[in-house]
Structure 1
Amino acid sequence: MKSLEPCMSPRPARCMLAFTSAAAAALIITGCAGLKDQYAASADAQQRMAAEAAADTKAGASVDTQATYLKLVDQMQKEDLWFASLAHIDALEQRWGVSPESTRTRAEALRQTGQAAPAEAAYKRLLGTPLASAGYRGLGLLAGTRGNYAEAVQLLMQAQRRTPTDALLLSDLGYAQLRAGQIEEARLPLMQALQLRPDSTQAQANLALYLEVTNQRDQATALMDANRMSEATRMAVREAALQMRAPGGLAAPVAATAASIRGEPIVTPLALKPSRWAGVGGMRTAIQTNPPASNAEATFSPNSIPRGTP
């Protein structure tokens, strides 16, 4: 049996080689373990980053989607920010393309900003879509603005056949029938509108107008009392009814204190108002009509044709 000889000076090369090999092996083992730990840490970090990115994407998608953007545009239009909404509709369509929903909002904004010709073209593009009712309604409102109430009735009836429970559409139809001389026909849609939307000031005023025109003044007064209509609104309703009862009054424009009763768009000074939608598309100001100084000064015209949805 051979004895193990220590590494001594007579064989320095062999000893050096042995130590070098052992050290290298140790370094390799240590290095492999270190790299393994680094790879594991890197993989964990990547997984965390991927999870965070997925969460951010999901959170962003809940806000930054076509449907959500359309809701924002609808809300702006409810607040009468019609000019600003047109800018956001441009941004929406640049990102997601043109859709029936974006066309509807564009048509409404064009009509409300006095651009009748492009509004009419936009409404007509809706006729072959699931939003055909909105197209017919918009065309009916434009016809009413021109004073062509017989045409308005036909178009609004087309819309009503497609969406029979739309209270504001029924109110528009009833008013157009009143102005077209179809007094008895107006009763049904006006009653339906008020029962479907008893809180609608437009439906209340239009039914009160019908009652005044048909000489049911006690019922008209009771309706206005029950809904606490302002004196200005009552005067507008009664003046419109008086002129509609006059010879030729149904066909002629109704001149009254409120410009909207004449079938004309209300033109008031424009003011720059800070927009609530600064974070959407970078729009920081919006042109909007000046609001009334108080609720008591605000008049609700019985004419729902020029302005459409209240």
Structure 2
Amino acid sequence: MMIDKDTIKLLRIPFSLLLMPIFILAWSQIRGAVSWIDVLVPFLIIHFLVYPASNGYNSYIDKDQDSIGGLEKPPMPTIRLFYVTLILDIVALLLAIWLVNMAFALCLLTCMAASRAYSARQIRLKKYPYTGFLVVVIFQGAFTYYLSYLGITKEFLELNGTNIWVLAACSFQIGGVYPLTQIYQHKQDLADGVVTISYKLGYRGTFVFSIIMFAICDLCYFLYFTNTNQIASFYIIQAFFIPIAAFFGYWFSQVVKDTRNANFKNTMRMNILAALSMNICFIVLLLKN
């Protein structure tokens, strides 16, 4: 089956890489030596197979005509895109079983099921503002950290009092970003019968809610790094939060003046800046450890 350029575009692979920070964070917190192959295999499976398949499936179901994450003018999907997403998921599961272990494959399958339930017309969790929000923050946050740790070490993360804080931090971090990614899509989502948490909160409410999520995230990071005797790592994170907070504050002020500033371009600027800052931040933690 030939894959055309529009199908590749709708997989939104560059957008999948915006979710790299949590994988790198999990890698940085692993004690003991791991080989490059131990890291590379789960990284490629998650970011070049599972996430693109999820993105593509969402695009196939929604058939967006306006801007979506990573694409200002998305092409119209075809049935070819649907089959490509199935192939990517199957390949991901087979490679996970062969190169990692069955536990990692089962966790991937859980992620795939959640992604399908989020988008599929028969279930359509995304149309429920609070349920959809919880699914995204859990699976792109805490579960991704858990999955990444399992993929690299081939061992389950111990769910003790300390590790719960870093899992919570990951979910609250996604909880701060996710509503901002919906802020320019209110009309498009409503036309498709989707009521997002950003729409429920309104433009100003979305920013206030994100501030609360980021504050709780930061508290969880403080508790985790304090409990693991890595307080210097917490301060490193604060330094990399500065450019994110600066643009966030600027953007918020512009939206207060004119809600038309809650647009695709500013949303992508926020996403890219946050992803780059946190990727570099967690690479620094990785090198430090």
Higher percent of residues as helix: 2
TM-score for both structures, normalised by structure 1: 0.27
Larger-gyration structure (1/2): 1
TM-score for both structures, normalised by structure 2: 0.28
Higher relative contact order (CA 8 A, sep 6+): 2
